[in-house]
């Protein structure tokens, strides 16, 4: 998966900063659902583990690297882990399933070190996601 952030420098400023990080992730989730006819409400929750693969960083003002401590700073903790959960609703139409879900991931590890001498108190990943899906079942 990919995550990251973009900094905005105010109204009509042409300056920007963007960082995108790629991870290989494995979630171990509990899946619970309530079913009524063709409709199903579900809940997924559990830990998610990830390993950092690569990053891309772009900005248009070289002076930013001197003012912001995380610009040009490499990821220091490659192994990531945290807690995730999502809820959703789906309808079954014969061999087709249509649904929508939304979730949240709270990282319990940091991408940068956070010792007393480091510029960060915390740098954990937090993600909010939403999905619309259509599945075709084969029996």
Is a pLDDT exceeding 80 seen at residue 111?
yes
The single-letter DSSP state of residue 139 is -
Question: Which position has the higher pLDDT, 40 or 115?
Answer: 40
- As a whole number, the mean pLDDT across the chain is 88
Is a pLDDT exceeding 70 seen at residue 95?
yes
Structure confidence at residue 108 (pLDDT): 93
> Containing domain of residue 98, as a range?
2-136
3-state class (DSSP) for residue 129: strand
Is a pLDDT exceeding 70 seen at residue 66?
no
Give the count of alpha carbons within 13 A of 91, CB side only: 3
Structure confidence at residue 35 (pLDDT): 93
Residue-wise pLDDT for 3-30, tens only, equals 888 877 777 777 888 889 999 999 999 9
Distance from C-alpha of 98 to C-alpha of 32, rounded to nearest angstrom: 18
Residue 138, phi then psi, degrees to nearest 5: -120, 130
Q: How many domains does the chain have?
A: 1
Is a pLDDT exceeding 90 seen at residue 120?
no
Structure confidence at residue 102 (pLDDT): 97
Q: Are 95 and 135 in contact (CB under 8 A)?
A: no
* CA distances from residue 46 to 21, 54, 95, 127 in whole angstroms, order as listed: 22, 25, 29, 15
Structure confidence at residue 61 (pLDDT): 73
Q: Are 78 and 45 in contact (CB under 8 A)?
A: no
Q: Are 132 and 105 in contact (CB under 8 A)?
A: no
């Amino acid at each position: 998966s990919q995550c990251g952030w973009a900094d905005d420098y105010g109204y009509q400023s042409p300056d920007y900063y963007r960082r995108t990080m790629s991870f290989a992730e494995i979630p171990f989730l509990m899946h619970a659902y309530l079913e009524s006819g063709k409709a199903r409400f579900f809940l997924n929750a559990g830990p998610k583990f990830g390993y950092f693969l690569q990053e891309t960083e772009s900005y248009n003002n070289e002076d930013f690297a001197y003012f912001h401590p995380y610009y040009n700073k490499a990821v220091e903790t490659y192994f990531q882990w945290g807690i995730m959960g999502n809820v959703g609703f789906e309808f079954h139409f014969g061999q087709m399933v249509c649904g929508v879900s939304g979730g949240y991931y709270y990282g319990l590890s940091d991408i940068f070190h956070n010792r007393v001498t480091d510029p960060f108190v915390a740098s954990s990943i937090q993600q909010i996601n939403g999905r619309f899906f259509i599945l075709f079942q084969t029996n």
